Structure 1
Amino acid sequence: MDEAGKGAVLGPMVVAAVGCEDPGEVASLGVRDSKQLTPARREELCAVIRAQFQVAVLVIPPDRIDHRGGTMNRLMVHAHAQVIGELRPDTAYVDACDVIAARYGCMVGNRLEFPCRVIAEHHADENRPLVSAASIVAKVTRDAAIAELSAIHGEIGSGYPSDPATVRYLEAFIRSSGSPPPFARKTWTTVHNLIAKAEQATLPDFS
């Protein structure tokens, strides 16, 4: 399992899992961490992965992230457990979302209602082909969601706070409407800062 869009300020987060009996079959496709592949290659591999292997995908909208009722790690534990539950494997490899990987694996395992060995590792998306495959599916699914939002609302960039196009879009939207767009994560610091900046710009100058 892996996810895409965890740190984004716009659009959903996508969690994906890929299941198979022989991980070597996935490795033979030449999968790599999605960030190391071109968009065209990701699309190509995603189609092959979906056609040949079991796939589970969970799309988590921004409002669910804003109202998660706890930390992002807690939300990730629930999300990873949910996609594991769809495939019900004997062993699950997870890209760890905690500084202590083994602890994260135990947290996910404790949410399951069936026997499953959960192995959580840092950089699993780079080191384990199955997790690389999941990262590809998650990334392609999220990219499609972002493309759909851009087609409706105009260019929004990648949706990440580090993307100048995303920040420009957010800043302009907040300046014109006074609030962030409905597909923004309203609890994110980026949004709070841009709202404060817009409010400051509208204050009367008494000097």
Structure 2
Amino acid sequence: MHLSMAANNSSEGASTPARKICGVDEAGKGPVLGPMVVAGVACSDLDELAALGVMDSKVLTAKRREALFEKIKTQFPYAVVIRTAADIDRLREEMTMNVITARAHAEVVATLGCPVAWLDACDVNEERYGRTVAGYIGKPCQVIAKHKADRTCPAVSAASIVAKVIRDGLVRSYEEEYGEIGSGYPADPVTIGFLTRYIRSHGSPPPIARRSWATVKNLMNNAGQKRLF
């Protein structure tokens, strides 16, 4: 597991506004390849981030996301938690993916230390998810969990941009080692083609694959049956 924290580069002093609110979102909860990246961005007022033009990262071009990320990381405190494929496989032996995500969300909120946290809810029940995250934070915090918060709360939009840019960078680094791997999602034919070829050649999934995913288990079973016949 890996945690990194970057603080605002501006000088700290009496005139520096208190960072009262943070937004948290993740990228890569569902892919079969690569990590899940959870990011949080803190601000003193949501209008500060809205003024940058932040939006849900999924509706932005890669170039626009990267430009906004540069502005966010130089103007606002942010925190990042990364769960690798191996981390996720190990944790899934003990808990659900929603709990893994909730604990990572809580870790980011605790690092930023804001009294109010907005989250993109990863549960069908928003209030339940908020209570779950609040229980893992370890300090008083008003947690507001909403579906589609990455579209409606500027702090969560900013967090979605940070998480997406960092995860995309990691995926590009994997392509330097493995060649084209696609988006990493089970519905992507390029990803499935890469996994199929890798398993056929090596007899096991690559280290960047989530072995606990049904996609990998099915590919391994199919490869075993082909070898049998």
Is residue 3 of structure 1 aligned with residue 20 of structure 2? no
CA distance in 1, matches of 2:159, 2:137: 19
What pairs with 1:175-190 in structure 2 (closer than 5 Å)?
175-190=200-215
CA RMSD of superposed structures (Å): 0.8
Paired letter, 2:52? L
Q: Which residue of structure 2 lines up, in the alignment, with residue 86 of structure 1?
A: 111
Q: Which residue of structure 2 lines up, in the alignment, with residue 109 of structure 1?
A: 134
Paired letter, 1:93? W
Q: Which residue of structure 2 lines up, in the alignment, with residue 137 of structure 1?
A: 162
Per-residue deviation, residues 71-105 of structure 1 (Å, max 9, x unmatched): 01111111011000110101000000111000110
CA distance in 2, matches of 1:94, 1:35: 16
Residue 168 of structure 1 aligns to a residue whose secondary structure is: helix
Q: Which residue of structure 1 lines up, in the alignment, with residue 173 of structure 2?
A: 148
CA distance in 2, matches of 1:188, 1:138: 22
Paired letter, 2:43? C
CA distance in 1, matches of 2:136, 2:192: 36
Per-residue deviation, residues 158-195 of structure 1 (Å, max 9, x unmatched): 11111111111000001111110011000001101111
CA distance in 1, matches of 2:28, 2:110: 21
Is residue 191 of structure 1 aligned with residue 216 of structure 2? yes
CA distance in 2, matches of 1:50, 1:77: 23
Give the deviation of 1:126 after TM superposition: 1.0
CA distance in 2, matches of 1:166, 1:2: 24
Is residue 122 of structure 1 aligned with residue 147 of structure 2? yes
CA distance in 1, matches of 2:222, 2:175: 24
Aligned length in residues: 204
CA distance in 1, matches of 2:213, 2:139: 35
Q: Which residue of structure 2 lines up, in the alignment, with residue 166 of structure 1?
A: 191
Q: Which residue of structure 1 lines up, in the alignment, with residue 21 of structure 2?
A: none
CA distance in 2, matches of 1:37, 1:148: 21
Give the deviation of 1:200 after TM superposition: 1.6
Paired letter, 2:176? A
CA distance in 2, matches of 1:77, 1:125: 16
1:12 to 35, 48, 58: 35
Paired letter, 1:15? V
CA distance in 1, matches of 2:51, 2:78: 17
What pairs with 1:31-46 in structure 2 (closer than 5 Å)?
31-46=54-69
Query: Kindly, what percent of the aligned residue pairs are identical?
Result: 52
Q: Which residue of structure 1 lines up, in the alignment, with residue 70 of structure 2?
A: 47
Give the deviation of 1:197 after TM superposition: 1.3
Q: TM-score, normalised to structure 1's length?
A: 0.97
Q: TM-score, normalised to structure 2's length?
A: 0.88
CA distance in 1, matches of 2:181, 2:174: 8
Deviating 4+ runs (over 6 angstroms): none
Paired letter, 1:71? T
Residue 191 of structure 1 aligns to a residue whose secondary structure is: helix
Unaligned stretches of 5+ residues in structure 1 = none
Give the deviation of 1:53 after TM superposition: 0.5
